[in-house]
A and B are shown apart, each in its own frame.
Chain A
Amino acid sequence: MNRPALYWRAASFAVAAGFVGLWQLIADQRLVSPVFLPGPDRAWASLVRGFASGDLLDKLLGTLEHMAYGWLVASIAGIALGALIGSSRTMRSYVAPSLEFLRPLPVSAVIPVAIAMFGLTQSMALFVIAFGAIWPMLLATIHGFSAVEPRLYEVARSLHMSRLAIIFKIALPSASPDILAGMRLSVTVALILSVVCEILAGLDGLGHWVLLSARAFRSADLFAGVMLLGVIGYLTALAMSMVEKRLLKWRSSGH
């Protein structure tokens, strides 16, 4: 980072700090009832206390676990199914329209169905999160496969490559930018659905924590939980974009 950019960054942090100061001022002056709005000092103290006692850490790990399992299942299933559908023109013309119809479906609407099938259990959460997170990856993989440069397929045919080899050596690498973009989107979906499932089913996690804090009007704990969820959202998005940049380096150098 060059010097002016660094100054701008510092100024931007100062503005953010100013907003936190304003928040503190509003809380101190009791312009908003402290039942709803704790000051940043109380929220921070609650965050530190929660981590010191280990409560909050358990909840954080719980949420991360739900997210990670659901997302992994969705990634594997999404890419495999997408490869299967995307690599065959016939499959594409039969299956893709149905998938397009399902795409705008608010995925949380399958939660009641999942509850009816699995009850208020971990498997319900896993099913919902995986079901929700699969769409971006599935559709991105199909799109990536159908957008592969046709000449590459011709080359593969003249080399007498098997269908599996074509998928692994040509289609998957060529579709990887689409797939990674889909994976990035679905991390966010997985986080949101984890929180919703925890709220509904009372599973151990930050969603349950914020709901209990709200019910008991412990607003400092509530804000601490919401801040942590924001941090998870920020860090997972950051990690995904770093992975994306790293894995796709070959692309920018090649063309």
Chain B
Amino acid sequence: MIPERFKAFLLPIAILAIFEIWARVAHLQSDSLAPPSAIAVAFVEAFQDGSMLTATRDTLISAFAGLSIGGAVGLAFGIALGIFHIFDRLMEVTIEAIRPIPSIALLPIALIALGFGYRMEIVIVAFACVWPILILTRAAVGGIEPRLIEVSRALRLSPVDRVRKIIIPAALPRIFLAFRLAAGIALIVAVTVEIAINPIGLGAAIMTAQQALRPDLMLAYLFWIGLIGYLLNTGLMLAQRHLFGRAALVGDSA
């Protein structure tokens, strides 16, 4: 019996090996494909001359700045809508009208208003991150055990203390889940904006590699973007399990 851990690596290793052999046998000359060994060389080179790190920094700055702004807005509105049902019902139509706009459709608006660069990318990422956090926070706050709210009333906590001491701790596991989902979205949107139009970051770097007919470098960037996405997701998932233990499982089925 082959151990499970090994099985997971068997398929990618087999694909890479077959591809490498095929590329060597057929003397591959292509604008879109490159043998894995060439990709590895391009990866190391881009890493050593610093271009890959600069691009990574630009993308991550935009993604995290957008995530913090969008997350803060989503969190504030989500808590407010979760606490005040009147507010929630009054805002329903407005939210349902804005939410389905695909974030990338804002790209041309952000482009003429802010020009190229970090700012327009951050705005678009922030818009995309508001919604998952708002919706899940609202649900989390609305789903808090009513007795906890009663306790806070009996203790005569001020509204600020009620949010700080009762509501946020009680809803935190699900808010963190929302944050994890939004972090994934932030990275996706940031890379997409860069690929579509913005000349900074990993997305622009991979487009440049394609236009320079460097499939090895392009695929090296593709691998690196995938790795960042994977590490971000895995890291946040571990953090979620570590921080909240069993409580982290609450919203995961949703």
Binding site for B on A (CB under 8 A): 8-9, 11-13, 15-16, 19, 35-36, 93-95, 97-98, 101-113, 115-117, 188, 191-192, 195-196, 199-200, 206-207, 210-211, 213-214, 217, 219, 222-223, 225-227, 229-231, 233-234, 237
Contact yes or no, A230 B90, CB < 8 A: no
Query: Which chain A residues lie closer than 8 Å to B107 at the CB level?
Result: 199, 210-211
Contact yes or no, A196 B112, CB < 8 A: no
Interface size of B by Cβ–Cβ distance < 8 Å?
56
Contact yes or no, A230 B100, CB < 8 A: yes
Q: Which of A19, A115, A207 contacts B210 (CB 8 A)?
A: A115
- Interface: B26 (CB within 8 A): no
Contact yes or no, A104 B233, CB < 8 A: yes
Known: A98-B12, A237-B100. A104 touches B230 (CB 8 A): yes
Q: Which of B10, B101, B195 contacts A108 (CB 8 A)?
A: B195
How close is B96's CB to chain A, nearest CB, in angstroms? 7
Report the separation of the CA atoms of residues A94 and B2 in the bound assembly, to the nearest whole angstrom.
11
How close is A217's CB to chain B, nearest CB, in angstroms? 6
Report the separation of the CA atoms of residues A19 and B90 in the bound assembly, to the nearest whole angstrom.
12
- Interface: B188 (CB within 8 A): yes
- Interface: B206 (CB within 8 A): yes
Number of A-B residue pairs at CB separation under 8 A: 162
Contact yes or no, A217 B207, CB < 8 A: no
Interface residues of B: mostly helix, strand, loop or mixed? helix
Contact yes or no, B105 A226, CB < 8 A: yes
Report the separation of the CA atoms of residues A19 and B111 in the bound assembly, to the nearest whole angstrom.
24
Contact yes or no, A93 B230, CB < 8 A: no
Binding site for A on B (CB under 8 A): 4, 7-12, 31-32, 89-94, 96-98, 100-109, 111-113, 184, 187-188, 191-192, 195-197, 202-203, 206-207, 209-210, 215, 218-219, 221-222, 225-226, 229-230, 232-233
Residue of B nearest to A115 (CB): B210
Contact yes or no, A195 B105, CB < 8 A: yes
Report the separation of the CA atoms of residues A199 and B184 in the bound assembly, to the nearest whole angstrom.
23
Residue of B nearest to A19 (CB): B94
Query: Which chain A residues lie closer than 8 Å to B31 at the CB level?
Result: 116
Contact yes or no, B94 A106, CB < 8 A: no
